[in-house]
Each structure stands twice: as C-alpha cells, then as structure tokens.
Amino acid sequence: MVFTANAKPTNPNESLWYTQPAEKWLQALPIGNGSLGGMIFGGVQNEQIQFNESSLITGTTSINGNAMPTVGYYQPFGDVFIDFGNVRAENYRRELSLNNAIQSVTFSSGNVNYRREYFSSYPDKVLVANFSANKKGKISFTLKLKDAHNGKIEVSRNTITATGTLPENGMQYESQLVVINNGGIMTIGNSSISVSNANDVKILLVAGTDFSKDFSKDFKGEHPHALLEKTLLLAAAKSFSTLKKAHITDYQTLYNRVKLNLGVTPKKSTLDRLNAVKNGEKDPALEALLFQYGRYLLISSSRAGGLPANLQGIWNNEYKPAWYSQYTTNINVEMNYWPAEPTGLSECTAPYFDWVENLAKVNKKTTDPQLQTKRGWIAYSTNNIMGGPSTWGIHRPGSAWMSQHFWEHYAFTGDKDFLKNRAYPMLKDVSGYWEDHLVESKDGKLITPDGWSPEHGHGLVEGDRTPYPGVSYDQQIVYDLFSNVVDAATELNSDVAYKNKIDSMRTRLLGPQIGKWGQLQEWMEDWDNPNDHHRHNSHVFGLHPGRQISPLTTPEWANAALVSLNARGDISTGWSTAWKINLFARLGLGNRSYKMINMLFKKCILENMFDTHPPFQIDGNFGYTAGVAEMLLQSHLKTDKGYLLQLFPALPDAWAAGEVKGLRTRGGFVVNLVWKNNVLCTVSVKSILGNDLNLIYNGKKIAISTQKGKFYKFDNQLLIIK
Ligand code: FUC
C-alpha cells in the first residue's frame, strides 16, 4: 500500500488520519451513538467492524436480596467481517473526522476511486456503513456477522440476525444487519451475504439487549427483537445521504459549540505526529486535537436515554476487560464527566444522572449488610449498569463525590427544575448519611470515622483499606457535599433551617492540615511518607475537583498541596496524569500542567489516541480534555456577586497564541478568548442567564451586571470594547 500526497484528509485540522489500515484493535478508530459503538479497522481486502452495545454485561443486580450478585464484565457484542477479495489499493487513507463524526476509508485501485464511510447515528439508532466508487458496478464483497457469544445466526433475504442469551445472567440480546445494494447481484449464503458488481451498498447494523433502565422492573425489559426490527426497517427506508445528514446535524449541534486553535496542523499523518511528539517535537495543534477527541468520545459514548460512559466508554473487545469495564467510583466515573459542562456537552450528562439515581435506589433496597444506612446511601468502589455490587471495597464517600456533578450541572446551566427535582434531593439525601455518620472528636471537630485513602494505606501497601478516622479524602469530599447542599438550598431559596444546620456542620469539619514536611496531610495523623508516589492524589480533592483549596483563597493549603504533589512526583498512570493537568491548572502552574500534557503524550496516548492507564481507560481522555479547559478558564471560585471567571489561570508558555470559542462557565457564560505572545487580546462573553459577570485576568478584576442573551467584549485591560 502506498500513501501519496494526493490522499489529503478532508479536514486536516480536526481529523485523525492514517496511511495504513489497523492491524490491532487499539489502532482501529471508534464511532458511537452513545450506546452502539464500532471500532473500524479500515482493511482494504478484509474489513472488520468490531461492535458493542452498552448494556451487554455478564453482571446481575443486588436488589431483591439476590445473594450472589456479580458486577460481571462489559462484553464485546460481535464483529462484521467483510471480504472484498483481492483488491490492490493506492493512495490509501483512513480518517476519522471529528468535525462530522464520520470515519472514511478511501483509496484507488486501477483507475477507480473507492470510498467507504462509517458512522453510528443517534437520531436513527443504527450503525451505518456505505461503500461506493466513482465508477458503476465496482462494489463486490462477502459479508459475515459474527456473534461474540456463539448466538444463533440466521440469514433471511438481505438481513442477518444473531440472537442469544448470556449464560452468566440470562441476558437476552440480538443484533441485526441489513445489506442494501444499488445495482449488482446479491447472493445469500448460510451465514453470509455476498454482493457483486453493485454501484454502491449501504449496510445498517443494530444491536440491543433486554436490559431496561427501569429500576422498578429490576432492570429487565422486553426481548430486543421487535424494537431492533422496527428501528432497522425505519432506517432502511432512508437514503444514505438522509441518514448521514441527520447524523451530522445531530452531532454538530453538540460538537460545534467549542473550537480550539493552538497552532498550525503539520501536514503529516496522525501516527507520524504522535511519533514526532514522543520524540520531543512540539505540536500544539495535536494537543488541540486530543482536546476535541475527548469531546468526540463523550458525544459518542454518552447520550440521553442510554448508559453513562464506562471505563472504556462503550468500546471493548475483551470478555474480561480490566476492572470489568464498568463504573469505578473513586475517581474514574466522575472523571468521565469532568469535561461535559465546561466544554459545552452538558446534555451528555443525562445518562450519568439516571444511573446515579438508579444506583441510589438499588443500594437503598439491597439486603447487603455493607450497604445498610439509616439515611442516604453509599456504594462500592465498582458498580455495574444495574447498581452493584462489587467484590472490592465499600467506598463511603463515593455517593457524595458522584452527587457533586448534580450540583455542577445546575451551576453551569442554571436549570432550576433540575436543581429542585433532582440535584437538591440527591445532595440532601447523601448529606443525611454523613449527618448520621460523622463523629465528634475530643476537640469538637466533626470527623469521618472509618475511611481509607484511595487506594493505599499509609504503610504504602497498594489497595490497603484499613479504616481510619479523619482521612483527608473523606473530610474534603464531605466538605464539598455540604457546600453544594448549602449553595443549592440558597439558590432554591428554601429549606433554610436545614441549610443552616449543614452550614454550621461544615464549619466544624476537620479541615486540611499541614504536616511536618510542609505537605497537605493525607491522614489525620502526620503519617505522610515523602516517598509515596501513589497514583491517587486523594488528599488534594479539595483543590480539584473540589473547591475548598485555592491559591487565591487558601494560599497556605494550596502551597501544602503543591508540596504533596511534588513529593508524589509527576510520573504516573493515564488518568492520574490527566488529573495532574487539572490539579496544576488549579494551582495556576500552566507550565507544570503542560509538563503533564507532554508526559501524557509520551507515555499514555496510543496510536488511535485512546489513553492508556495501561490498559486503555477512557477516563484519561476525558480528564485531559477537562484539564485543557481548566488551563484556559476557571470558574469554581465565588465572589459575593457570583462566580469569578479566571481567564488564563494556567496558560503555558508553549501556547503562545491561540483562540478558543465556546467554553462554558458556572453562572451561565459562554466565553471566547483570543491571545498572542502569551497575552490576552480580547475576551468576549455571552451571558446566558443574566448573572453578574466577574472577570479576573493578570491581577485585574472587573464586575459588571449583564443582561440575558447579550454579548460583552473586553480588551486585555478588561476594558469594555463597544
Ligand atoms: C481505580 C484505580 C486504578 C484503575 C481502576 C479502574 O481503582 O486505582 O488505577 O484505574 O480504578
């Protein structure tokens, strides 16, 4: 296969593109509609589409006193294998356009130009492949649908169906594929469909299970057959271009909200660029691409009606993926949603909220003695789509951490209905648990009695969960929870007595302590070991994603947090490196954040730009995207007149010039920034909610009142430009 300069990507600035097909799964490129995901290999002679549907797991639920529930594993669903025969290709290119969420494979053979396109459509709920050429009668292949669990394969007319039941939990599943040829001849085999000499061919794939999000039905719904058949029929009646148009419109509604330009895109394939960066070359445009890739991956793995992005989003080809590829609550599932609000993907949080609410219901109803609480609810470290439970530890502050995003969703969107009906009830419920669970120390401080610091003990034993009182991680998460309860009640202008109670409990919580080597203590006792390089930075939760610690409001604690982070060291795993981008950004250390970005690219970014822990975990992708946003703009601090928008709190020297459009802040602002020579040129702000606008840049501060829907533009002295 030869790549020549003719094969230019359609949108080089926002594409991942390669001059070779994928040989391995981690070279294939992902598509997804929130639930139905595909990994496209892009082979010329043999194409493979490995696919997943987000509800296919081997686990069970713990409601109804099920004595032997299991988390189970997220499962591969199947593969579509397409044999195109002996085609020779020139000018080969495979490309994933982040701009329209379409993957394409293009090449020429003889004097014919071929084009294959792939996408997974949210509006039409189908995965679409379309094969075409610039001459008539040139599309020929044999296609097989392989079920990953030896389901029954049936071919009838132009449709292949695979049906089965998982032995572990009795989950029923089905996938259906239809081949629609324009011109040429179709032949049906026992387990295959062949097409010869067609002008173009459209292939549609659907997959589903009998899982239901309905808690009251114990998560068991109808057999998926009828719904899949209907979905396929509706989509089959539409032309490829109609399906494509609906897909692009839907996707771009979300994706186009944010643009980031950090520099010129080199005329090299993504793989060449990744290798160059691993060798120390600078490519800020690739950093912008990885930022947008995180947004693409969230849109593709988390949409309303579905399930939240799991540890691998929705993409998995293993029967026993690492950590079950489900939901880990001591950072991973929360990290998945860090980029959602600031980068304009608020709607993508919908399945997360549904899932957390279901988890709360399950854990309240279960007879599992470890999960019993008087008020509120708690969770295990690992949970599946039907709640839990896990073989690993109980994780008390997990419910409080998970509830943080309920507050954040309101803080960014100002959605009062959500606040009243979902966020506040969730926060207050979890708060009840901590009201009951906190104990008073001899000197009158409120402390959490029995926590551990993810995921090691002070003796540096990996996974040690010996309980101790007053663990900083717990203290800071409870502080965050109480703050969110107080802020939510204030916004709702109700529940004053409860608000005051929680507010006063918050002031009595044991706060962060500075230890003997100047560190922020991880434990109530000054036990920290300066040689502790653990990947979890649990004791600086209050710096990020919490808002208890900041150089602007609590400089001593912020300094101590830096001492702790320095001791932890910069070398870490995928998500941990991504977390540190955010942490250093909150400390205002742009060049340190940038160092973490470099380390992430060197160690953790795979050929298809998935982030590896190792192994592949998508949290690192999402944490990275959130971190870049955090470097450019922060809004977690409050003044007496509303949120403080910090412009360039952590701009690294390496991003000398650039432009970002559409970042969202708490308080409901949409912000565009233009900068040159590391200095702000202009900032324009759209006020969505009409709140007061507080800006701080380079030590200068302004506060103005705004009107709903109006734009405000400022120069680098924060003087208004009319
Ligand atoms: C936490 C981390 C591990 C891994 C797992 C999914 O337990 O400590 O490193 O990321 O989640």
Test site for ligand 1: of 310, 323, 616, most ligand atoms within 8 A of the Cβ:
323
Q: Binning pLDDT at 50, 70 and 90, where does residue 5 land?
A: very low
What letter does residue 605 receive in the DSSP assignment? Answer: B
pTM: 0.98
Instruction: Please check the confidence at residue 391 and state whether its pLDDT lies above 70.
Output: no
CA of 93 to the centre of ligand 1 (A): 36
What is the Cα 375 distance to its own chain's centre? 30
Taking residues 612-619, what's their average pLDDT?
97
Q: Which atom of ligand 1 is nearest to the CA of 311?
A: 6
CA of 389 to the centre of ligand 1 (A): 16
- 580 closest CA partner among 590, 618, 289: 590
**Residue 613 CB less than 6 A away from ligand 1:** yes
Cα–Cα distance measured from residue 191 to residue 144, given in angstroms and rounded to the nearest whole number: 6
Cα–Cα distance measured from residue 499 to residue 487, given in angstroms and rounded to the nearest whole number: 9
Q: Which atom of ligand 1 is nearest to the CA of 332?
A: 11
pLDDT at 458: 93
**Residue 455 CB less than 6 A away from ligand 1:** yes
Q: Binning pLDDT at 50, 70 and 90, where does residue 6 land?
A: very low
Instruction: Please check the confidence at residue 3 and state whether its pLDDT lies above 60.
Output: no
Taking residues 666-693, what's their average pLDDT?
98
**Residue 332 CB less than 6 A away from ligand 1:** yes
Q: What size, in residues, is the chain?
A: 722
What helix, strand, coil percent values describe the chain, rounded to 5?
A: 30, 30, 40
Test site for ligand 1: of 461, 534, 575, most ligand atoms within 8 A of the Cβ:
575
pLDDT at 393: 87
- Whether residue 550 contacts residue 510, with contact meaning beta carbons closer than 8 Å, is answered with no
What is the Cα 700 distance to its own chain's centre? 34
Span 346-369, pLDDT tens digits: 999 999 999 999 999 999 998 888
- 116 closest CA partner among 43, 194, 33: 43
- Would you state the structure tokens that stand for residue 515, as one six-digit string? 């230890």
